[in-house]
Structure 1
Amino acid sequence: MPDVILVTGGTGLVGRGIKWVIENEPEGSRFGKRPGETWIFASSSEADLKDPEQTRKLFQKYKPTHVIHLAALVGGLFKNMKYKLTFLRDNNLINDNVLHTSYETGVKKVISCLSTCVFPDKVTYPLDETKIHLGLPHDSNFGYAHAKRMVDVANHAYKDQFGCNFTSAIPTNVFGPYDNYDLEGAHVIPALVHKCYLAKKNGTPFIVGGTGKPLRQFIYSRDLAKLFIWQLREYDDVEPVILSVGEDEEVSIKDVADAIVKAVDFRGEYSFDTTRADGQFRKPATNKKLLSLIGDFEFTPFQKALDESVQWFLQNYDTARTGVKNST
């Protein structure tokens, strides 16, 4: 029976990355589509995964043999702080429905997407896969973080009780085409890209909040997509895997802003508002486990990945998720 891979949250940043790789890598190659495979990229408009009945109907419709579970209620820092219970409940419902329906319908394998925010707030660096449950997550997003942690707990329970092949991936900061550029809830790269674009368009200064000194690990969505495909095909352990560039590839927010200024070709006034909070200085994660398993893997250089992302944004501004209602 040919494989049917259902990607929940399939029209978001990572889902679009996987779709791009499946359509652009040579068929039959390590990350390309396999002969006879069917890939389904489901969006939230197809089913409300908080509802068990709608989740069942989605699975009945496509009969997946494998699931990459990306669907989640996500938001930026301020949304997470304001709606802790909503983030906890909605994500718990989504995850429980997807995992239980996968178990009930005999899905061979599920990979769920976690986040580095599952890690404890007080922990020794670098982060690695053994440290998830060693303490409380940061208070600012504990609703979301606890819901994501519970996926790891559930994966182990399904394996222990029913022998299910359920596992999870922990990506670092993802960016790329089809990102969320809404300034209210966007993450740092898409937010700065949108701000820089508007500054250029309006002839106003480009001002970046904070000192620009904090360091982050960023992974290009198309690289992450390949790693998800690798994990689906070649990794069969319940323990999660951090999917990330190396800790030696941290980039400062200033480096990010400089690269965006270059990619957007912004020539106006550009400065840092040091009265704004910086957030955590760094939270490096190690990709040693990933590299020990995958062998050879080439990450896209940061500037090239950023250029491709910015070009996509500039070409698709009218349809991108900007939070700006375009009047026609």
Structure 2
Amino acid sequence: MSVILVTGGTGLVGKAIQHVIETEPEGSKFGKKPGEKWVFASSSEGDLKDPEQTKKLFEKYKPTHVIHLAALVGGLFANMKYKLTFYRDNTLINDNVLYTSHLFGVKKVISCLSTCVYPDKVEYPLDETKIHLGLPHESNFGYAHAKRMVDVANHAYKDQYGSNFTSAIPTNIFGPHDNFELERAHVIPALIHKCYLAQQNGTPFIIGGTGKPLRQFIYSRDLAKLFIWQLREYDDVEPVILSVGEDEEVSIKQVTDAIVKAMNFTGEYDFDTSRADGQFRKPASNKKLLSLIGEFEFTPFEKALEETVKWFLDNYENARK
């Protein structure tokens, strides 16, 4: 019996992995395999910042494999405001999960990083070799440093103990079960919630920044399939970027237009250019991923956005907001 523990299992990516495991045909490429038990742990089961609570969680489930998604995450403005909190909380969470996995003899751990770990000044596109070539962007200072250290720890565990610890680097994730809380949300869920409120209140829909920055967005359910593939097929300590191609960047204005269309918003909307934009673009290459996985069909952006908006509207009362 393989027991796969997913930390942060009730968050955006955890819920997406659960959806894929439960809806793909059993025994298929991304479906549940015979002899697998999947555990989607929430923060209510234990505070991963605390080593004793982390050990109790591992004692309860005795995982053979871990997909480590748990993190303190937030959007641009939260990251800028709470640098130390993002650094310290994530450092504690990551250290406890990796060390406890080592103590319990876990066969494999995949940790979730982010493209914000990359240096601010770096040659694009980003690839897996450029993580440590300079300081991250100031707007992600605390979170980026904490996440970057996971790659350092993975190499150290491999060198000292032979551990099969690796990591995934997704680009900007969105989908059902996202965090739509206005201050802490990432750009797509924040804009969906803002558009909804503007529609309900008959007020203008105001977007922070110029709308010009470009981003690669990956649908959470596509990312879930890639995590399942990585768990089963990839056994190298070096991270893998999990992303759509760099030719599929979209601007924040294009995102806004797509949300307005998906929500049938007919009111006024405009950009508050006094607000910070963050990095203009940070394109990442998925060449390594595609060379390993072969063919993979990503959900078209507008279709994925429509499904996300529909989920938000259908689950408004219970959504994180």
In structure 2, the residue matched to 1:207 is 206
Q: CA RMSD of the aligned region, Å?
A: 1.0
2:180 and 2:225 mapped to 1: Cα distance? 23
Is 1:301 the equivalent of 2:296? no
1:60 and 1:276 mapped to 2: Cα distance? 47
Task: Map 1:64-213 to 2 at 5 A.
Answer: 64-213=63-212
How many angstroms does 1:319 deviate by? 0.5
Task: Map 1:236-251 to 2 at 5 A.
Answer: 236-251=235-250
In structure 1, the residue matched to 2:318 is 319
In structure 2, the residue matched to 1:7 is 6
Q: SS at the partner of 1:131?
A: coil
How many angstroms does 1:281 deviate by? 1.5
Q: SS at the partner of 2:237?
A: coil
The question of whether the paired residues in 1 share the 8 Å contact of 2:76 and 2:278 is answered with no
1:185 and 1:108 mapped to 2: Cα distance? 34
In structure 2, the residue matched to 1:326 is none
How many equivalent residue pairs?
Answer: 321
How many angstroms does 1:107 deviate by? 0.5
1:232 and 1:62 mapped to 2: Cα distance? 18
How many angstroms does 1:60 deviate by? 0.7
Q: SS at the partner of 1:292?
A: helix
- Which deviations, in whole Å up to 9, do the C-alpha atoms of 1:60-80 show, x marking residues without a partner? 110100000001111222322
Q: Structure 2 counterpart of 1:83, which letter?
A: Y
Q: SS at the partner of 1:59?
A: helix
In structure 2, the residue matched to 1:325 is none
1:203 and 1:48 mapped to 2: Cα distance? 41
2:68 and 2:62 mapped to 1: Cα distance? 15
2:74 and 2:203 mapped to 1: Cα distance? 27
How many angstroms does 1:83 deviate by? 2.4
In structure 1, the residue matched to 2:290 is 291
How many angstroms does 1:272 deviate by? 2.4
Q: SS at the partner of 1:168?
A: strand
1:77 and 1:208 mapped to 2: Cα distance? 13
- What percentage of residue pairs aligned between the two structures are identical? 84
In structure 1, the residue matched to 2:25 is 26
Gaps of 5+ in 2: none
> Please, what TM-score do these two structures have when normalized by structure 2?
0.98
1:76 and 1:190 mapped to 2: Cα distance? 10
1:247 and 1:182 mapped to 2: Cα distance? 28
1:235 and 1:213 mapped to 2: Cα distance? 36
How many angstroms does 1:275 deviate by? 3.5
Gaps of 5+ in 1: 323-328
Structure 1's consecutive aligned runs of 4 or more residues displaced over 4 angstroms after TM superposition are none
